[in-house]
A and B are shown apart, each in its own frame.
Chain A
Amino acid sequence: MSDDAKLWSKTISDVNEEVLVNLETPHPAYYIALGGAVFALLIGILFVCLHFTFGLGLWNFRPPVYWAVDITNFVFWVGIGHAGTLISAILFLFRAKWRNSVNRSAEAMTIFAVISAAVFPLIHMGRPWHGAIWALPLPNTNNLWINFRSPLVWDVFAISTYFTTSLLFWYMGLVPDLASIRDRVTGFKRLVYGFMSFGWRGTAKQWWHYEAGYGFLAALATPLVLSVHSVVSWDFAMSIQPGWHTTIFPPYFVAGAILSGCAMVYNLLVPVRYMFKLEKFILPEHLESCLRLTLLTSTIVFYAYSLEFFVAWYSGNPYEWALFAKRATGPYAFYFWVMMACNCWFPLAFWSKKVRENIVLSYVICFAVNIGMWFERYNIIVSSLVEDFIPARWGHFEPGLWEVVITVGSFGLFMTFYLVFCKFFPIVSLSEIKLIMPKPMSPKSLKAGGDHHHG
């Protein structure tokens, strides 16, 4: 018996039946979670309505800090999305089997995280129905084109490409599963799922082109995921602001993004696995692999934080060093040490197998990592911005009520989308999980000890 067979208590014949039936009857906790998410979303919508009515003055702006919590949320949510692409694309190319049970959930997380991120630059424009057009490569009223040398324009291109690519990658992965649902339901539902699955029939030729295309999508998404957060980091690194003007930012941001994303995947998978009774398909081994990835990226982030401090001192630039020393000991020390503890120290517990196998403890650590990663972005943005080039303007910034409200609202938006998705679409990829389960071989072949046809 192969290792795969020992791992699984289910066969491919159980996949469609059990995953799809459980979608129809989730645990009551699902509805409580959905209610909470919708409530948070409504709070966010209320703020956005007030914001459009009364203007940007509602935000707690303290010049020179004009973008603090909104851009923190933007970077946080874009970062969350990264683990989705990492799991779906990079781990696909590395043939990591465990990704097949969690990739759908991670990809959905990417899409909804990028939507949550996109909200912030849009509402920050004050009147987005006028403002959004500035980001597009269109001439303005003076026939002047946008500046293609600006990192903000690069960011628009990067995020738009990232969203489109993630959406298409995710949807193409869904097509065979939508066909599986179509073949189980009747009437109007069958029509809807049939339309959404493009009439997928599952012929060998379709699978052949599908697999080739899926590989190319993964190959294209891999450099994209590494580039997008690099471009986001250039929003900061291309400036001359002390604390931002650092060449380490691109790899540091990418590692941080993947760290927060992996922790979020864990935070989402554990309750969803319970609500939809997917314990037989999302195995403890798969959850543990996710934690190993969290540990790996946490150590990279730890290294980046340390190197950043070292270079600030070693460069001999007094402004740079003063800012970093102040981050650790000044008025923002609380944010800094929470960031260090949550992102660097707590995840070290994942070296222990006992901790990795303890779902409750791992869940708490992953939750802490997400808090830490939010604080990291806040720390980078605010502590640098608050002391710009005119000392008379120096001051202190703390988030106000509305900053907290819109942050809660963005979580509501994300969770509402995610939970609704879980209810109507298979959160475990039906066709891909079958690939990592024992192959349906004839008794004659199994008796002969052959687990594989043609080797």
Chain B
Amino acid sequence: MAKPSADQGIIGIYSYLDTFCHAIEKVRDRKDFIGYESFSPTSYHEIEHSSGFGPSPVRYFTLTGALTGVCVGFGLAILCDWDWPIVVGGKTPGIYSLPAYVVLGFECMILLGVIGTILGMLVMGRIPNPKRAVLDVRTTDDRFAIFLPGAQVDSPQAQFLRECGAEEVRST
């Protein structure tokens, strides 16, 4: 027997933000909604609160990238100076030229911090992921949705989504 796809299950469609947020809050309290996903056309903070999300781990990616960048920027300039000192205006290169290298340390901090952040957004958001399908094209337009994998359209979970204000519940 073929393994069921991660995209097989039921999806409940919502038109209103407040109804959708209440539905998420209720779904979170139930034990039979394991692995549910919610969808929205844009990033309303109300959904974040209803889903109970705390601070995103993306910040660790940003911090790691930024700290690496500072080290790379200063390290590049100092090591190059070490390799072949260029004495300009009688000033000793290396550690004594640090003020000039602040610019390089700063720029590299921003550069790698940004690259780290983007990696964080991709890794934590699980994208790109060609194995996952778009379940309902309306969720990138103006509708909200809750998806439960593995459930049937006549299950108690489907009935629960309807009770929570879903205007449509269908299998995917």
Question: Does the CB pair B140–A227 fall under 8 Å?
Answer: no
Question: Does the CB pair B137–A208 fall under 8 Å?
Answer: no
Shortest CB-to-CB span from B167 to chain A, Å, is 11
Given contact pairs A154-B104, A453-B18, A220 touches B39 in the complex (Cβ within 8 A):
no
| CB nearest to B136 among chain A residues | A183
Q: How far is the CA of A439 from the CA of B42 in the complex (A)?
A: 11
| CB nearest to A219 among chain B residues | B62
Shortest CB-to-CB span from A386 to chain B, Å, is 27
**9 closest Cβ pairs, A-B complex:** A212-B56, A183-B137, A213-B121, A145-B80, A442-B16, A148-B77, A198-B128, A209-B124, A13-B142
Question: Does the CB pair A200–B127 fall under 8 Å?
Answer: yes
Q: What are 18 A-B contacts with C-beta separation under 8 Å?
A: A148-B76, A149-B88, A172-B118, A179-B140, A182-B134, A202-B40, A204-B37, A204-B40, A204-B47, A206-B125, A207-B47, A213-B121, A220-B66, A220-B113, A431-B41, A434-B41, A442-B19, A454-B46
Could you tell me which residues of chain A, from 127 to 154, have a CB within 8 Å of some CB in chain B? 137, 139, 143-149, 153-154
CB contacts (< 8 Å) of B107 on chain A: these are 154, 157-158, 160-161, 224, 227
Number of A residues near B (Cβ < 8 Å) is 70
Given contact pairs A199-B129, A213-B117, A452-B46, A224 touches B110 in the complex (Cβ within 8 A):
yes
- Picked from B43, B81, B114, the residue with its CB within 8 Å of the CB of A169 is B114
Q: How far is the CA of A224 from the CA of B113 in the complex (A)?
A: 12
CB contacts (< 8 Å) of A217 on chain B: these are 114, 117-118
Q: How far is the CA of A441 from the CA of B17 in the complex (A)?
A: 6
A-facing mask of B15-42, CB < 8 A → 1, else 0?
1111101001000000000000111111
- Picked from B51, B77, B81, B108, the residue with its CB within 8 Å of the CB of A208 is B51
A184 within 8 A of B: yes
CB contacts (< 8 Å) of B49 on chain A: these are 454
Residue ranges of A at the interface with B (Cβ–Cβ < 8 Å)? 11-13, 15-17, 137, 139, 143-149, 153-154, 157-158, 160-161, 164-165, 168-169, 172, 176, 179-180, 182-184, 198-214, 216-217, 220-221, 223-224, 227, 231, 431-432, 434-435, 439-442, 445, 450, 452-454
Question: Does the CB pair B41–A202 fall under 8 Å?
Answer: yes
Question: Which one of B62, B115, B117 has the greatest number of beta carbons of chain A within 10 Å?
Answer: B117
Given contact pairs A199-B128, A209-B121, A441-B16, A183 touches B110 in the complex (Cβ within 8 A):
no
Shortest CB-to-CB span from A235 to chain B, Å, is 12
Question: Does the CB pair B110–A435 fall under 8 Å?
Answer: no
Q: How far is the CA of A198 from the CA of B129 in the complex (A)?
A: 7
Residue ranges of B at the interface with A (Cβ–Cβ < 8 Å)? 15-19, 21, 24, 37-51, 53, 55-59, 62, 66, 73, 76-77, 80-81, 83-84, 86, 88, 97, 100-101, 103-104, 106-108, 110-111, 113-115, 117-118, 120-122, 124-130, 132, 134-135, 137, 139-142, 165
Question: Which one of B48, B125, B132 has the greatest number of beta carbons of chain A within 10 Å?
Answer: B125
Shortest CB-to-CB span from B8 to chain A, Å, is 15
Question: Does the CB pair B56–A157 fall under 8 Å?
Answer: no
Majority DSSP secondary structure for residues of A touching B: helix
Q: How far is the CA of A217 from the CA of B77 in the complex (A)?
A: 26
Q: How far is the CA of A199 from the CA of B97 in the complex (A)?
A: 47
Given contact pairs A16-B141, A149-B100, A442-B18, A208 touches B56 in the complex (Cβ within 8 A):
yes
Shortest CB-to-CB span from A102 to chain B, Å, is 17
Shortest CB-to-CB span from B147 to chain A, Å, is 9
CB contacts (< 8 Å) of A432 on chain B: these are 42
CB contacts (< 8 Å) of A149 on chain B: these are 86, 88, 97, 100
Question: Does the CB pair B122–A198 fall under 8 Å?
Answer: yes
Given pairs A157-B108, A183-B137, A220-B114, 7 additional interface contacts (CB within 8 A): A154-B104, A157-B73, A168-B115, A198-B128, A208-B56, A211-B45, A431-B42
CB contacts (< 8 Å) of B50 on chain A: these are 453-454
Question: Does the CB pair A213–B56 fall under 8 Å?
Answer: yes
Question: Does the CB pair B46–A147 fall under 8 Å?
Answer: no
- Picked from B40, B66, B118, the residue with its CB within 8 Å of the CB of A168 is B118
Question: Does the CB pair B114–A168 fall under 8 Å?
Answer: yes
Question: Does the CB pair A147–B110 fall under 8 Å?
Answer: no
Question: Does the CB pair A209–B125 fall under 8 Å?
Answer: yes
CB contacts (< 8 Å) of B47 on chain A: these are 204, 207
Given contact pairs A149-B88, A450-B18, A431 touches B43 in the complex (Cβ within 8 A):
yes
Shortest CB-to-CB span from B6 to chain A, Å, is 11
Q: How far is the CA of A4 from the CA of B75 in the complex (A)?
A: 51
Question: Does the CB pair B130–A209 fall under 8 Å?
Answer: no
- Picked from A144, A145, A203, A216, the residue with its CB within 8 Å of the CB of B37 is A203
Question: Does the CB pair A157–B103 fall under 8 Å?
Answer: yes
Q: How far is the CA of A202 from the CA of B120 in the complex (A)?
A: 16
Question: Does the CB pair B120–A213 fall under 8 Å?
Answer: yes
Q: How far is the CA of A176 from the CA of B111 in the complex (A)?
A: 23
Question: Which one of B37, B127, B129, B137 has the greatest number of beta carbons of chain A within 10 Å?
Answer: B127
Shortest CB-to-CB span from A168 to chain B, Å, is 5
Q: How far is the CA of A161 from the CA of B165 in the complex (A)?
A: 48
